[in-house]
Amino acid sequence: MTEDESNSKNSEEYETDEDEPLIGSSLEEGQWGILGEFYQIDEIMDVGSFDIGDMSLSIEKVQLVQGRFNKDENELMDEEREFISLIMDLNIPDNKGEDYHETIDFDIDYMSVTTDTGEHIETSEMYSSMIMPLTMQISDALVSVSYEIEDSNIDEIDAIAFEVESPVDIHGDPLGEDVEVEIEI
């Protein structure tokens, strides 16, 4: 079977609504195109901004994503998977100094979602970016966090609660309040 025949066969096996766009590979799109063939089921833009400790998070995009991962270069895995993906801009004030990242603890593990179907989901480290401003000592960067839907059907989700725990200092003391953002899909 040629590569074109294999790709055509994979596309025929995966049935999707033609109105659902195939997701690309840029960070602004959640980088799903790198991982396989994923479609955007729903999207909400510019959800809002909030402060978390000294930092601010701006939720640029929330996506409901459905698709299949690459098995190898020419073949997709059989199992279809569903995710909630948030793409955010994380901003750390410039006046915090070069060693600021060493004085706090904050990563994607501090974030989770709960769907309106009652499913609580922890961040999937495999499909999320690291919090680059803290690891690379930069003040502003896009961060992508993803949550695999396992106990719900993606079509049943109408809203999520995005929960973010406050960063903590080197003594384990919170640097602010925990935040919960209700997002209608």
Nearest by Cα to 37 from 70, 83, 71, 63: 70
| Cα atoms in the 13 Å half-sphere on the side-chain side of 176 | 17
Question: Which pLDDT value is given to residue 98?
Answer: 64
β 168-169/104-105 pair status:
antiparallel
In whole angstroms, give the CA distance from residue 92 to residue 105: 13
pLDDT digits (tens, 9 = 90+) for 116-149: 999 999 998 888 877 644 554 566 778 889 999 9
pTM of the predicted model as reported, rounded to 2 decimal places: 0.79
Mean of pLDDT values over 9-18? 43
pLDDT (tens digit per residue) in 71-106: 876 677 889 999 999 999 988 776 666 666 677 888
The CB density around residue 185, as the number of other CB atoms within 10 Å, is 17
Residue 25 DSSP symbol: S
Instruction: Tell me the C-alpha distance between 53 and 65, whole Å.
Output: 30
Residue 16: predicted pLDDT: 46
Query: What mean pLDDT is reported for the chain?
Result: 81
pLDDT of residue 177: 95
Q: For 3-184, CATH number?
A: 2.60.40
